[in-house]
Structure 1
Amino acid sequence: MRKIAAADGAIGQVLGCHYLLSFSARFFGGAEPAARLERESAAGQWCWGGGLATREPRLTLTTGRDGRVVNGRQGYATGVLVADRLAVRATHADTGEPLAVLVDTADPGVVCGGDDGDTFGQRLSAGGSVEFDAVPVEDDAVLGPLSWDEDAPSPFSGLAAPTGRLVSAQICLGIAQGVLAEAREYTRAVHAPWPHTSSRDPYALTTYGELTVATFSAAALADQALEALDGGLARGEDLTDDECAEITVLAAAAEAAASRAAHDATARALDVVGARSASSAYGFDRFWRNARTHTLYDPVAHRLHEVGDYFLNGEHPPFTLPF
């Protein structure tokens, strides 16, 4: 994901969304149904899109004579214009329980479009609004419950949150690494931004040094969080609430560090390149636009609050899926 996002964060977002959502059945639906669904997905070469965040307008899952159907509108879904399947959050009409469900985008009741995806960044994430008009949902396409209380889901299901956080961290890290790599090549190959300076200019060297340290540090923290997540996934249903909380906090810290590294790198690297970085011919603007747009959905302040509350008070983070 970092390699793809280094070229364009929007494409990295499509890939990350696909990875996260195609894996979500393991968190919410159990190992056997998930394995069956993943085999079907691989055989059909599905691209997954959608989103399971609570901030979205409610979709409704109802049961009629012809089976279950989804109705409603989702204001934004990543990859909706290219996805073969959409994983979305729908509220059961009878019980009020939130569920993760999978729908086929080829159904005529799925209507994609709208202006919701018309942002100044992440333009290639194929996102936008989507309408659901009596879209059928097969029994095995109900991935599982999304409620989070004392009686439901297990700590293993809770790993869906840090998994999503680390997907976001990879996007941010890719953007930071990408802009630094391209700015470096420009500085080496073209010329210095101001008269009587060179690639040995102390300001340029110090700025590149600071941005490199910040990006390397964020990457190391993300790697540590990934290792912890791997351990949690290997624990399976033996995972405890305390272990899940520790992994979640570590992933939140990694996302926060990666977000800040992306913001700093995409702004300050352009200062070193100089005024020509504003030329559309070089495409430096895509890094700043993609980083700024991506991090608006889940501000870093929320992650820092979770980390601080856990450090100071031992409070477990609430279960929230990334937007």
Structure 2
Amino acid sequence: MALELKENQDYMERARRLAREFAKDAVERDKAGGTAKIQRDLIRDSGLLRLLIPKEYGGDGQPWSSVLRIVREFARTDGSLAHLFGYHFIMLTQIHLKGTPEQKAYFYRETAKHNWFWGNSSNPIERSIIGHREGERYFLNGKKTFSSGSPDSDVLLVSWLDRDSGKYYDGVVPTRRPGVNVLDDWDNIGQRQTGSGTVVFDQVWIEDHAIVDTTATKHKVFATIVPILSQIILANIFIGSAEGAIAEAKQYTLNQSRPFLNSNVEKASQDPYIIRLYGDFWVELASAASLVDKAMEKVDRIWEKEFDLTEEERGDCAVWVAAANVAAGKAGLDVSQRIFEVMGARSTASKYGYDRFWRNIRTHTLHNPAEYKLKNVGNWVLNDQFPKPDFYS
């Protein structure tokens, strides 16, 4: 399937054209689950996978906010593809954050050259892959769940425990390397085409140059910002999903909803209670989106700082991103489940798939509970303490 997208076309226009294409069968694909192969290839062909890569390595040299705007655009139609797009950059840039300059240059260039789509098998709290050295190579055995983006990926960021030293490593493995088995076992209520299931490793070898060398970066603040990037991606998925829910509800209300028997109006769109609810949706979502936009500005600034980033600058950004994520999650959950109030009983028919927006947001918000983000924000407000870097903050 081909979609005419020009390299010199504005990146947001390319993203909007892709989103319109994704919308054509978003409901059917959500029901089917599995891998959105055609849509992933359209993203590859668009050139957008190179968006964040510096120009000297063959990319577009855009800031993180450019990636995040596209995440939000995709989420208006398809939260799964928004997730896959954002997390491609999370995996790719970990080499930049944690590795050597040579590794950064190599993986950026190879990704730009070959249009690699990155996936992961690096769930940090599940240390179930064991590695051991044999001569010049490491061999990996075990499995990991929540391996988002692994089906149809070109390379995987994988993490493992060394059998002898107990040290934790990250590395890059081609997805099609012998011994890598990506299982089709993701069957959750939401994000149904993210392929966030299990990857099994059976004597998978990895070269030294593909093992992330953290010798020079492990004590750098810049190397700790992965959770910030992850949370700001999810915040934009929440906002985009809610925007998409409102847009679809609007069309249904205008074109299909029937006025309530006792409303004394000719059209549902004239019902004052329905009109008020749309106003309520907009106020709630616009407030959360403004906070997310502010946090995106701070993410751009810490990315520009690179290895000159200070703990205070990171901490300030972490607080804003946590707050934005919480606000976006709350607004997204509320709006996406209340849209049925402005559409009516017939809108609950499964053929419409309007529930997918809520299911997608709900699936994500459970992985990193709002309460713990609020605890970090509250500790900063009350005790002037920034969040400590860990897997989720």
Query: 1: CA distance between counterparts of 2:100 and 2:330?
Result: 35
- 1:128 and 2:197 equivalent? yes
The code of the aligned residue for 1:207 comes to L
**Could you tell me how far 1:288 is from its partner in structure 2?**
1.5
Structure with the larger strand share: 1
**Could you tell me how far 1:319 is from its partner in structure 2?**
2.1
1:174 and 1:51, CA in 2 relative to 1: closer, same or farther beyond 3 A? farther
TM-score when normalising by structure 1: 0.92
Deviations 1:143-194 (CA, angstroms, capped at 9, x unpaired)? 3459xxxx94311112222111101111111111110111011111223452
- 1:6 and 2:72 equivalent? no
Residue number in structure 1 paired with 2:254: 188
The code of the aligned residue for 1:319 comes to P
From 284, 293, 299, the equivalent of 2:354 is 284
Q: Is the contact made by 2:136 and 2:207 (CA closer than 8 Å) also made in structure 1?
A: no
1:36 and 1:66, CA in 2 relative to 1: closer, same or farther beyond 3 A? closer
Q: Is the contact made by 1:62 and 1:68 (CA closer than 8 Å) also made in structure 2?
A: yes
Deviations 1:272-300 (CA, angstroms, capped at 9, x unpaired)? 11112211222201111111112121111
- What are the ranges of 5 or more consecutive residues in structure 1 without an aligned counterpart? none
Query: 2: CA distance between counterparts of 1:52 and 1:246?
Result: 27
Query: 2: CA distance between counterparts of 1:95 and 1:56?
Result: 18
Kindly report which structure 2 residues correspond to 1:1-323, keeping only aligned pairs within 5 A, or say none.
1-113=71-183, 115=185, 117-145=186-214, 152-192=218-258, 194-195=260-261, 196=263, 197=265, 198-321=268-391
Q: Is the contact made by 1:28 and 1:157 (CA closer than 8 Å) also made in structure 2?
A: yes
Q: Percent sequence identity over matched residues?
A: 34
Aligned-partner SS, 1:143: coil
- Relative contact order higher in (CA < 8 Å, ≥ 6 apart): 1
1:193 and 1:46, CA in 2 relative to 1: closer, same or farther beyond 3 A? farther
Query: 2: CA distance between counterparts of 1:176 and 1:193?
Result: 24
Deviations 1:229-254 (CA, angstroms, capped at 9, x unpaired)? 11111112221111111111111111
TM-score when normalising by structure 2: 0.77
The code of the aligned residue for 2:314 comes to C
Q: Is the contact made by 1:169 and 1:222 (CA closer than 8 Å) also made in structure 2?
A: yes
Count of residues in Structure 1 that have an aligned counterpart in Structure 2: 318
Q: Is the contact made by 1:53 and 1:322 (CA closer than 8 Å) also made in structure 2?
A: no
Q: Is the contact made by 1:57 and 1:75 (CA closer than 8 Å) also made in structure 2?
A: no
1:277 and 1:191, CA in 2 relative to 1: closer, same or farther beyond 3 A? closer
Runs of 4+ in 1 over 4 A off after TM superposition: none
The code of the aligned residue for 2:157 comes to A
Q: Is the contact made by 2:145 and 2:196 (CA closer than 8 Å) also made in structure 1?
A: no
RMSD, aligned CA: 2.0
Q: Is the contact made by 1:14 and 1:79 (CA closer than 8 Å) also made in structure 2?
A: yes
Query: 2: CA distance between counterparts of 1:81 and 1:322?
Result: 24
- What are the ranges of 5 or more consecutive residues in structure 2 without an aligned counterpart? 1-70
